[in-house]
Amino acid sequence: MKAISSRTDAAPPPPTHVAIIMDGNGRWAISRGLPRVAGHRQGAEAVRTAITSAVDLGVSYLTLYGFSVENWKRPKNEVTDLMGLLRLYLSREIAELDRQGVRIRFIGQRDRLAPDIVRLIDDAEGRTRTNTKLNLVVALSYGARQEITAAATALARRALAGEITPEEINEDSLAGHLETAGMPDPDLVIRTSGEKRVSNFLLWQLAYAEFVFTDTLWPDFSRDDLAEAINEFHRRERRFGATG
């Protein structure tokens, strides 16, 4: 009689931290003969999909690159539209995020944002602070070079004040002065729209992340797209500089 095997092939765990460079809103709108702001509005719908999908797929941290420091150089009317959409999102979506158990945090240069937006951000972070289902990190008015420079400046000031010696400045101490201090580094980075560059995003934290580039424009990004990127992540061999 043939023995029945009790072995089961369990699905591999999802990456702990997924970061997404959301790209393609403008091209999505232009290809449909619509103003760019229509692409940003549809992109906000894709954000909802990504958050829900991340929860369903068991991701613990989801970081979204929402607006870079370089994006301030865009035409004034487009920046105004983006800030208006941000206000709307923060006013309407936080209650639902809280209901889903999502904790939301923001990284980036808040001093460049309007005071009312900063208040909405503070309220959102405070309201969701104890949630544990998903850690949602939004990079807003963010630049990685600026973040690293600020961390190095803070460490230099501490050294000048005699709080630490120069020899105590190392990878751990610098990481502890980044805005992502206490968070795990991203395991998987996804960039939509077919572009293949980092765009000043989490330069320190992405040292050993796996990258997946998709031609899908951000407004069309679906749960299936996220699941396929995670499947691709599982097909990679992560060696962190060692041999396989």
Q: What is the pLDDT of residue 4?
A: 47
Q: Are 151 and 177 in contact (CB under 8 A)?
A: yes
What CATH number is given for 17-65+72-143+187-235 in this structure? 3.40.1180.10
Q: What is the pLDDT of residue 242?
A: 67
Let me know if 23 is a catalytic residue.
Answer: yes
Give every CB contact of residue 211 below 8 A, 6+ residues apart in sequence: 188, 189, 190, 191
Which of these is catalytic: 71, 185, 200, 220?
Answer: 71
Q: What is the pLDDT of residue 1?
A: 45
The end-to-end CA distance of the chain, in Å, is 40
- 103 forms beta bridges with 135
Which of these is catalytic: 9, 23, 111, 135?
Answer: 23
User: Residues 103-129: pLDDT tens digits?
Assistant: 999 999 999 999 999 999 999 999 999
User: Residues 34-72: pLDDT tens digits?
Assistant: 999 999 999 999 999 999 999 999 999 999 999 999 999
Confidence of residue 90 (pLDDT cuts 50, 70, 90): very high
Closest alpha carbon to 25 in 74, 60, 58, 69:
74
Q: What is the pLDDT of residue 2?
A: 47
User: Residues 208-232: pLDDT tens digits?
Assistant: 999 999 999 999 999 999 999 999 9
Q: Which two tokens stand for residue 56?
A: 């369903």
Let me know if 135 is a catalytic residue.
Answer: no
- For residues 39-50, b (16+ Cβ closer than 10 Å) or e, as one string? bbbbbbebbebb
